[in-house]
Amino acid sequence: MVTKRIALVTGASSGIGRDIARNLSRRGFRVILSARRENRLLELKEELVNAEIITADLTKQEECFRLYEEVKDKNICILVNCAGFGALGEFAETDLDNELDMIDLNVKSVHILTKLFLKGFKEKDKGFILNVSSSAGLMPSGPYMSAYYATKAYITSLTTSIAHELKEQGSRVYVGALCPGPVDTEFNEVAGVNFGVKSISSEYCADYAVKKMFERKTIIVPSLSMKAGVVAQRFVPRSVMSKITSEIQKKKLD
- Model confidence over 199-233: pLDDT tens digits? 899 999 999 999 999 999 999 999 766 666 666 56
Share of the chain above pLDDT 70, in %: 82
Looking only at the bridges linking them, the beta strands covering 76-81 and 128-132 are parallel
pTM of the model: 0.88
Task: Identify the residue with better confidence: 195 or 126.
Answer: 126
Instruction: Give the mean pLDDT of 142-151.
Output: 93
Q: Please check the confidence at residue 196 and state whether its pLDDT lies above 60.
A: no
Share of the chain above pLDDT 90, in %: 75
Buried/exposed 136-145: b ≥16 CB within 10 Å, e otherwise: bbbbbbbbbb
Nearest-angstrom CA–CA distance, 231 and 240: 15
Nearest-angstrom CA–CA distance, 122 and 140: 32
DSSP string, 159-206: HHHHHHHHHHTT---EEEEE--S-EESTHHHHHT---SSPPEEHHHHH
Least confident range from 172-176, 179-183, 218-222: namely 179-183
pLDDT-based confidence at residue 188 (cuts at 50, 70, 90): very low
Nearest-angstrom CA–CA distance, 24 and 78: 10
- Model confidence over 231-251: pLDDT tens digits? 656 656 666 656 556 566 666
Cα–Cα distances in Å, from 72 out to 7, 64, 122, 166, 172?
12, 12, 14, 21, 20
Mean pLDDT, rounded, of the chain: 89
Instruction: Decide: 218 and 170 in contact? Cβ < 8 Å.
Output: no
Looking only at the bridges linking them, the beta strands covering 52-55 and 183-184 are unpaired
- At what angle are helices 61-71 and 110-124 packed, to 10 degrees? 30
Nearest-angstrom CA–CA distance, 138 and 152: 8
Least confident range from 41-45, 107-111, 167-171, 181-185: namely 181-185
Residue-level pLDDT at 241: 58
- Please give, one letter per residue, the 3-state secondary structure of 142-164: CCCCHHHHHHHHHHHHHHHHHHH
Residues classed as catalytic:
148
Run of H or E including 230: helix 224-233
Instruction: Give the mean pLDDT of 47-59.
Output: 97
Instruction: Give the mean pLDDT of 5-14.
Output: 97
pLDDT-based confidence at residue 64 (cuts at 50, 70, 90): very high
